[in-house]
Structure 1
Amino acid sequence: MSAFAESESVEPLEFGASLRTLRVQHGWSLRELSSRIRFHHGYIGRVEQGHKFPDRQFAELADRALDAHGALIGTWRGDADRREEAARTGRLLAASTRDSLRLISAAEQLIENGDLDRQVRRLAVAYLGSPPGPILVAAVELRGEALRRLQQHQYRPHELADLYLTIGRLQGILAYSALDLGDAESAMTHARAALACSERAGDAELGAWVRGTQSLIARFQGDYPQAEAHILSVSAFHGPGTGALRLLCGYAQCRSHFADSTATIRALDQAAEGREHLSTTDSMAGIFEFSQAKQLYYGGSSLIWLDGGTDAERAAREARAAIAIWEMEPPEARSLDDEALAHLYEATALLQLRDLDAAAAAIRPVLDLPAERQISWIGKRLSRFAAMLHSGGFASSPGAADLVDEIHAFAPAAGP
């Protein structure tokens, strides 16, 4: 069993959530609570989001200001005890992991080929609804086993291509994990290794997926010419599944950043037509599958970079449609990170359409995310949303100012 399957989730801290609930019940903004307890509103926001754990004095002042009658202090005390217990558990876990790794390296019995493939498939699906950190740990563990088998020639001749394919998929999972954790350079290194494995395995489907992922990483870095080059390097992909649709939508994202509305819409429309005539399925689900919801999400995320108007209206529609599909999906098919970003893309489009109230409502699920779900993409896209609030004629709105404060508390790098 993989480390991911065996690991238990860490219980989230309750103090920040309780503080926010009481503040909202009082109808106070972060700045209003700040004026009463003499802590900076940005710090209070980070406490609410779980980025900071305050000292007891903060808890006592907040408890008094919010008329909590000791409830906040009790919650703070419980969190403090859990933090100490988690630290002790972490030290024990690190020691036990080192011992387990020694045992693994000395073990004679290997995971069966079928079991290794099944674990990779489970991990690819689990990624959709899990924070990237635990997935990264599990993928490293599985890759270690696969590499050991490769290096020690512990495979039959006809299994070599499948082993390279398994390692390539694990490298793809590592690339996604690293990118969601904000390390684009490591993500690109993992992607290059995945591409080399796809070539050794002779698997065009994985190769096209990797090129799309390299384009995604380059877009994260703001290098749109290189992102487009990765897409165009796949000259004529006719493999199974949704790979061609993903490449078309990635191309649309690139062209939108060059303000090429015609090419952006053409690529999205071609992908929509291709979806209607899709006759084969992807070899692996999870992050290796380009679902209908994901395709609509790509549409929304492309169109928000154009000039607004009808493009913004379509962006809002496609983001909403993606969210609606994901909300109806079973947990194993629901891409929570992309769903959160779809809310942000809808909010951005609504802001382009000058509807501040609707934009604030659309972005609320993003700002309510727990800390472990705040992937790097969210911080990047919140930066643009906050900048639009500053420069889009909303500066005189108290609601816009409170929203900027909350965004800054949620993701400090996104603030002014």
Structure 2
Amino acid sequence: MGDTGRRRFLQLLAGLPLVGLSDLLVVRAGTVSASAEILDYFDRQITDLIDGYERRPIAQTAVRIRRELPTIRSLLTEGAYRGDQARRLRRTAGRLTALQAATRTDLNDTPAAVNLFSEAFRLADSAGDRPLQAWIRCWQSSIARKGGDPKRALALADNATRWVGTAHPVAARAAVVGAWAQAALGNRWEVHARVGQAWTIVGDLDRDAHGEPGFSVDTMHTTSIGEMSAAVYVEAGFPDMAGVYTEAVQMSLDLAGATGRRSLIRVSAASAAIQRGDVEHAVALVHNAMDISADRPSARLHERIAAFTATTRTDLGAMSELDELEERLRTWRTPSI
């Protein structure tokens, strides 16, 4: 590492909330490498970013990741690593990059998300981080489906289990993501089979593998799979089935404080309410979803609400309540960063 590179590296590390920095660096023959303490620091940062993702403004998470990633990339580029140290660094880089890709998706920057997920997958592969590889395939499947390629979306969802098998928490996510692809393909009864498969997997998981409600990589909570199942059934044209899940998990998500999923479950519940003919309650639910996510707007929520209003208008025609909702949605913007 040259003098310029070394100065840049130390400047990056200066932003870390650590003391005794000289004790955390290993310098041999002009090469700076990371000590176990720095690697532990980044593990804690990733855990905090994942646990707080549903509860913090997406832009805030994106800024934190953008601050941390250059340090990790400098360590990978400038250092000489072997064995477990190399694996941990690549795993850290892969997970931070995948989280950055998720923020780009939620901030409606799909091209950047596509590139970042590809980079993260390569890093995960080099680190042997199979759960992350499967998790990335699920996100890539969703991007393909939203981009109008449900066949590729299904193939990517199926590919996820190549990395973790069929009994891992991420396999449950893959089953639901595959159900979404089947819904887009018009295979409505395959949707039931895939959702049922997801619940079978979750039912066999132990407590640690369930984790907590909300955003996750290595775990799958029943409330999270419930919210996803409801959304799948809305897209498949079974809003009555969606209602079964919304009633079961909405309160649990509220208690957990998982802002993103709290809003998403209400949009699914609104579709179920429309099916019952309760238009006033349905519209109130969507407004409530937007109120909950006022400080955490996301492209996913925007898309779900837009789909709700479009479908409801097609089914029921002109309505002043929908006019007001569409106007609010028109001025409801995801942050740019």
Q: Which TM-score applies when normalising by structure 1?
A: 0.67
Match of residue 343, structure 1, among 233, 246, 266: 266
Q: Quote how far apart the aligned CAs of 1:127 are.
A: 0.9
Q: Distance in 2 between matches of 1:102 and 1:340?
A: 41
Pick closer, same or farther for the CA change 1:280–1:212 going to 2, 3 Å: farther
Q: Distance in 1 between matches of 2:156 and 2:225?
A: 19
Q: Is the 8 A contact 1:168 1:197 kept in 2?
A: yes
Pick closer, same or farther for the CA change 1:113–1:240 going to 2, 3 Å: farther
Match of residue 408, structure 1, among 315, 323, 327: 327
1:252 maps to 179
Q: Is the 8 A contact 1:179 1:376 kept in 2?
A: yes
1:300 maps to 230
Q: Quote how far apart the aligned CAs of 1:367 are.
A: 3.4
Q: Quote how far apart the aligned CAs of 1:184 are.
A: 1.1
Pick closer, same or farther for the CA change 1:112–1:276 going to 2, 3 Å: same
1:365 is the counterpart of 2:284: no
Q: More relative contact order in 1 or in 2 (CA 8 Å, sep 6+)?
A: 1
Structure-to-structure mapping, 1:4-403, within 5 angstroms: 104-105=11-12, 109=22, 112-153=38-79, 155=81, 157-234=83-160, 236=162, 237-238=164-165, 241-279=168-206, 281-282=208-209, 286-288=215-217, 289-307=219-237, 311-329=238-256, 334-369=257-292, 371-395=294-318, 400-403=319-322
Pick closer, same or farther for the CA change 1:404–1:287 going to 2, 3 Å: farther
CA RMSD after TM alignment: 2.7
Q: Quote how far apart the aligned CAs of 1:413 are.
A: 8.7
Q: Is the 8 A contact 2:202 2:210 kept in 1?
A: no
Q: Quote how far apart the aligned CAs of 1:102 are.
A: 8.7
Q: Distance in 1 between matches of 2:224 and 2:273?
A: 20
Q: Distance in 2 between matches of 1:152 and 1:103?
A: 12
Deviations 1:188-210 (A, max 9, x none): 11111111011101121111111
Pick closer, same or farther for the CA change 1:283–1:266 going to 2, 3 Å: closer
Q: Distance in 1 between matches of 2:39 and 2:278?
A: 54
Q: Distance in 2 between matches of 1:387 and 1:260?
A: 22
- Percent identical pairs in the alignment equals 21
Q: Is the 8 A contact 1:320 1:343 kept in 2?
A: no
Q: Quote how far apart the aligned CAs of 1:235 are.
A: 5.1
Q: Is the 8 A contact 2:168 2:201 kept in 1?
A: no
Q: Distance in 1 between matches of 2:141 and 2:44?
A: 28
Q: Which runs of 4+ in 1 moved over 6 A?
A: none
Q: Which TM-score applies when normalising by structure 2?
A: 0.81
Q: Is the 8 A contact 2:259 2:292 kept in 1?
A: no
Deviations 1:303-340 (A, max 9, x none): 11233xxx3212012123222211222xxxx4311220
- Count matched residues: 304
2:32 maps to none
1:58 maps to none
Q: Is the 8 A contact 1:320 1:342 kept in 2?
A: no
Whichever residue aligns with residue 274 of structure 2, its letter is L
Q: Is the 8 A contact 1:253 1:298 kept in 2?
A: no
2:31 maps to none
Larger Rg: 1
